[in-house]
Amino acid sequence: MAILVVGGAGYIGSHVARALRRSGYEVVLYDNLSTGFRRLAQGFELVVGDIADQARPRPVLARADAVMHFAAHAYVGESVTNPRKYFHNNVAASLTLLDSALDAGIRRFVFSSSCAVYGVPKNIPITEQTQRQPVNPYGVSKLFFENALEAYARAYGLRSVCLRYFNAAGADESGEIGELHDPETHLIPLALAASAANGPELQIHGCDYPTSDGTCIRDYIHVNDLADAHVRALHHLEADKESGAESLAINLGTGRGHSVLEVIEAVESVTGRRVRRKLGPRRPGDPPALVADPAKAQSVLGWTARRNLTDMVSSAWAWMQKGSQYPRIGPQSAAKLPAALRARL
Ligand code: UFG
């Protein structure tokens, strides 16, 4: 059985591709390499193309039994300043991909959704029944596509699973692939970089939130736990195919929240070094706390997260220590890097 992993040269897609292969699937990657990296696709068949292009993916869609769609822009802040980029790719181009898949006869679709669809929830933990009220264009774009999948299930018999990720972190235990973003804005890689001797200082975005220590709380989830959930989602779509059309949404988190200060402590304990940091103002659009209720993932997919925060930080640290994870970094990010790393670019 062949799976087309769209956005397979990106951070989460590349980890899922390996998990699928370990489970015996044939895997083909499709990526325009705008934010993905060839080195994350190494060892896989990679078709370079855009999801907005109807003709390009046709031959690979003809060979595929299911599609997993990871190809999205995913910077919340950027989505506020440049919403057209987000609606163009995450909505319009993604719909083109969805239609191309449907026209190719594909009826199984797994979609990378996000806890951003919930906005600022009133209650924690967040269940799948929590009202979806996104507060930024990124979250709106994810919600739109979820709604499209629901409509396509009813109208065309498409079977889909929307996996709502909380905060993806960590790296494959092999050390071959890991988190790679340019620019890097995520807490764990920035805190690790700030633990280097001449590392750039980490700015803590707000310390006056209504949380136990005043910093934001997030549910960090290991990327390989996410990958495992994707394989299970596919099994679910295969196993229950007699039950017909379906559009399922599932939270993927550990159910345990960690504050920014707790993450910093975990980084210090893994690296044995101090994280140089300073307190800064709140980052616009950051909800105080986002923690998943992962019960549905357990009951429907038989999935629970197996790795904890220390596992995430230590695998990310192992990947970072390889020192080559910024292969084509732009000047903006390069300026933030420790001198030792900059010298190797
Ligand atoms: N943070 C800092 N300093 C930094 C970076 C982050 O204090 O330099 C804090 C943030 O304010 C937040 C926490 O660390 O409280 C985590 O921030 P990340 O940027 O690592 O992740 P986000 O929670 O902002 O983003 C994640 C996903 C998005 C998704 C979003 C939903 O990366 O794709 O959750 O809220 F949309």
Per residue in 33-80, pLDDT (tens digit) is 999 999 999 999 999 999 999 999 999 999 999 999 999 999 999 999
Task: Give the per-residue pLDDT at 305.
Answer: 98
Residue nearest to atom 13 of ligand 1 (CA): 187
Spacing, Cα 160 to ligand 1 middle (Å): 27
Q: Which residue's alpha carbon is nearest to atom 26 within ligand 1? A: 167
pLDDT > 90? residue 322 = no
How many separate domains does the chain show? Answer: 1
**Which residue range(s) make up the domain with 332?**
2-342
Cα 20 to ligand 1 centre (Å): 28
Question: What is the per-residue pLDDT for 336?
Answer: 44
Report pTM. 0.93
Choose the weakest-confidence range: 21-25, 189-193, 282-286, 303-307. 282-286
Query: Could you tell me the sign of the dihedral formed by the alpha carbons of 150, 304, 69, 142, in that order?
Result: positive
Q: Output the pLDDT for position 337.
A: 46
Q: Which residue has the tokens 């239609």?
A: 99
Question: Which residues are registered as beta bridge partners of 280?
Answer: 205
What is the percent of the chain where pLDDT is above 90?
88
What average pLDDT does range 270-295 have in this prediction? 96
C-alpha 126 – ligand 1 centre gap (Å): 17
**Residues marked as catalytic:** 138
Provide mean pLDDT across the span 78-99: 97
Mean pLDDT of the region 1-14? 97
Q: Indicate the pLDDT class of residue 335, thresholds 50, 70 and 90.
A: very low
Ligand 1 atom 16, closest CA: 187
Which atom of ligand 1 is found nearest the CA of 263? 14
φ, ψ for residue 172, nearest 5 deg: -60, 140
Q: Which of 283, 309, 312, 313 to mutate to test the pocket of ligand 1 (most atoms within 8 A of CB)?
A: 283
The pLDDT of residue 246 is 87
pLDDT the model gives residue 242: 63
pLDDT at 28 over 80: yes
Residue 93: pLDDT above 50?
Answer: yes
What confidence score (pLDDT) does residue 294 get? 98
* pLDDT band (50, 70, 90) for residue 100: very high
Q: Which of 89-93, 97-101, 160-164, 337-341 comes out lowest in average pLDDT?
A: 337-341
Alpha-carbon distance of 97 to 200, in angstroms, equals 39
Does pLDDT of 325 surpass 80? Answer: no
pLDDT class for 147, splitting at 50, 70, 90? Answer: very high
Query: What is the full DSSP assignment across 5-38?
Result: EETTTSHHHHHHHHHHHHTT-EEEEEE--SS--G
Q: Looking at residue 245, what is its pLDDT?
A: 74
Output the average pLDDT for the chain. Answer: 93
Q: Is the pLDDT of residue 342 over 60?
A: no
CA distances from 86 to 64, 77, 82, 92, 310 (A): 27, 11, 7, 9, 33
Domain CATH for 243: 3.40.50.720
The dihedral built from the CA positions of residue 263, 340, 173 and 238, taken in this order, carries a sign that is positive
Confidence band of 240 (pLDDT split at 50, 70, 90): low
- Please report which confidence band the pLDDT of residue 198 belongs to, taking 50, 70 and 90 as the band edges: confident
Ligand 1, pocket residues at CB < 6 Å: 74, 76, 114-116, 138, 167, 185-187, 190, 202-205, 216, 218, 260, 283, 286, 290
**Which residue's alpha carbon is nearest to atom 31 within ligand 1?**
116
